[in-house]
Amino acid sequence: MTVEVLLQGIIGGLLMGFIYALIAAGLSLIFGLMEIVNFAHGEFLMLAMFSTFWAWSLWRLDPLVSLPLTAGLLFLLGMATYHGIIRWILGAPMLAQIFATFGLAVFLRSAAQALWGADFQLVKNPWVQGRISLGGLYVGLPQLVASVGAVVAFGFLYWFIRRTETGLALQATAQDRQAASLMGIHTERMFALGWGIGAACVGVAGALLTIFFYVFPDVGATFSLLAYVAVALGGFGNVPGTLAAGVIVGLVEVLGGLLIAPALKYVAVFVIYLVVVLVRPQGLFGRF
């Protein structure tokens, strides 16, 4: 293997890692607020990609143009999921919470297959195409734009959580629900907002992925698995930690495919996950 091939792989891993981080950020935010794992997170991503595809197919809206619409649609879906399902199972046993979101995932995936079929769809001739050369290394413009968009969205999410009054209320609710309620924070509204923001993150990621990735009903499965790994590595509920964890997942995936075998690239990712869970269960950036 040449140095150029290795560097090319590292660049590809970094670019995909930023997108994984944005997907994982929404999942981590929801868990940090309520300690509920959204097993329908991948299906939310799938719906975001299909909505972006149909906006292009029906109205010829480029994914970058329809991105705000997709994010808004997923925000509403997240809010509706909380009010329609999650709020009714908050005090239920953990198995009931797991089955609720897992059942939602099965329903959404089956509905997508029934409505749109199992064929692979692709946005043809998006605004961003081609590649650029950097010192002999080639970077796909769609992947570059998608990763930059993911970093910008992640930065906005971090700013919102850390610098705004609503974001501080979200943090307070995550730390101690009862204390936050006594301080006048409407915790149920914060829960609904957290679900909306978490879904909006995958809405942005889905729209960006549609620039260069195929759309089909099972597309969210792989991305959601990698997002779960990134959440575990970054520390459950640690939104900033998911950025570094997403990059690690992207690099391990690509380098595992190059150094071991393409068919085993995900094996390398899950081996890292198992090692971290066994040695440091709170994650690389989590607290004891």
Average pLDDT, the chain: 91
Kindly tell me if the per-residue pLDDT of 32 is higher than 80.
yes
Q: Is residue 123 part of a domain?
A: no
Report whether 150 contacts 204 (CB < 8 A).
yes
pLDDT confidence band for 1 (50 / 70 / 90)? low
Kindly tell me if the per-residue pLDDT of 278 is higher than 50.
yes
Query: Tell me, what's the pLDDT at 288?
Result: 39
Domain that holds residue 195: 3-113+142-279
> In CATH, what number is assigned to the domain containing residue 45?
1.10.3470
pLDDT in tens, 179-213: 888 888 999 999 999 999 999 999 999 999 999 99
Q: How many domains does the chain have?
A: 1
Q: Is residue 248 part of a domain?
A: yes
pLDDT confidence band for 273 (50 / 70 / 90)? confident
Q: Is residue 193 part of a domain?
A: yes
pLDDT confidence band for 236 (50 / 70 / 90)? confident
Q: Is residue 134 part of a domain?
A: no
Half-sphere exposure of 182 (CA within 13 A, CB side): 4
Distances (CA, A) of 58 to 61, 62, 159: 8, 11, 35
pLDDT confidence band for 77 (50 / 70 / 90)? very high
What is the reported pTM?
Answer: 0.94
Kindly provide the b/e burial profile for residues 98-129, where b requires at least 16 CB atoms within 10 angstroms of the residue's own CB. Answer: eebbeebbeebbeebeeeeeeeebebeebebe
Q: Name the percent of the chain lying above pLDDT 70.
A: 99
Of the candidate ranges 3-17, 137-151, 154-168, the one whose mean pLDDT is the lowest: 3-17
Query: Tell me, what's the pLDDT at 286?
Result: 65
Query: For the chain, first and last CA: distance in Å?
Result: 41
Q: Is residue 132 part of a domain?
A: no
What residues form DSSP beta bridges with 19? none
pLDDT in tens, 211-225: 999 999 999 988 988
Q: Is residue 16 part of a domain?
A: yes
Q: Is residue 128 part of a domain?
A: no
pLDDT confidence band for 177 (50 / 70 / 90)? confident
118 token code pair: 């199992």
